[in-house]
Structure 1
Amino acid sequence: MVHFQYENYSRSFFSSSSGQEPVREWLKSLTRDDRRSVGEDIKTVEIGWPIGMPLIRKMDTKLWEVRINLSDGRIARVIFTVADADMVLLHGFIKKSGKTPANDLKLAKTRRDNVLREQEGGKR
């Protein structure tokens, strides 16, 4: 029998060098119902990590996406990394095609690398 240890993760927003939090700003642009849907799914991940499909899909090393169904059949994605016990929300967007756009994935990877570099620098 395999036992899984679930941990509660805290959630934080990626912050740029200028202090902007792009995911928080994106969330504010959504309707109240859409924000609620995003928040509920992120909370599920915080409480039950690790989680797999269909809610979470691994995108790259230390990079996952939360797959969120919004009203009117729209689909949102929030890409995050995990640093220690912190779920860092890196990028959020409304998905318009079957595949995650390369520029969205590249942006999330750059932000992930910044977060992990800061984490390593803080441990020294």
Structure 2
Amino acid sequence: MFHLEFYRTEEGKEPVSDFLDSLDGKMAAKLIGLMEILEEKGTELRMPYSEHLDDGIFELRCKLGSNITRALYFFYSGERVIVTNGFVKKRQKTPPGEIKLAKDRRLLDQTIWKIR
């Protein structure tokens, strides 16, 4: 089993928690349920629930009716999963800015863990 964590800023904030709080209750519950599946399956989770985007960044894919949300994550140090950011999907492709944000947070997270 994998251990899922939310990215935490240096100030101790968790942007993914804030994102989940901003969602409709049913959508938040479904996305949290998918995160639990990700904890169980880890690197074996595939489409339609997970997709590799770029350079070790994956997206957790959640759809409820016509509403689509995504949570981006990466694997770190064995069996850790770090969820970096979430967003409501409005276009066909994942916005490049969201992927860049996930990569930037991965770099920051790995730097912080090396210091700890």
TM-score normalised by structure 2 residue count:
0.90
The Cα of 1:116 is off from its aligned counterpart by 2.2
**Cα distance in structure 1, aligned partners of 2:6 and 2:42:** 17
- 1:35 and 2:48 are equivalent in the alignment: no
Q: Which residue of 1 aligns with 2:8?
A: 15
Count of matched residue pairs: 114
Q: Is the 8 A contact 2:72 2:85 kept in 1?
A: yes
Q: Which amino acid aligns with 1:61?
A: D
Match of 1:104 among 93, 98, 111: 98
Q: 1:2-81 maps to which residues of 2 (within 5 A)?
A: 8-50=1-43, 51-70=45-64, 72-81=65-74
TM-score, normalising length: structure 1? 0.85
Gaps of 5+ in 1: 1-7
CA contact 2:69–2:86 (8 Å) conserved in 1: yes
CA shift, 1:102, in A, is: 1.5
Return 5+ residue gaps in structure 2 as ranges.
none
Query: Which protein is bigger by CA-based radius of gyration?
Result: 1
Percent identical residues: 26
In the TM superposition, what whole-angstrom CA distance separates every residue of 1:79-115 from its partner, at most 9, and x where no partner exists?
0111122111100000000011111111111001112
Q: Structure 2: how far apart are the matches of 1:88 and 1:121?
A: 17
Asked if the contact 1:65/1:78 (under 8 Å) is kept, the reply is yes
One-letter amino acid of the structure 1 residue matched with residue 99 of structure 2: L
Residue matched to 2:76: 83
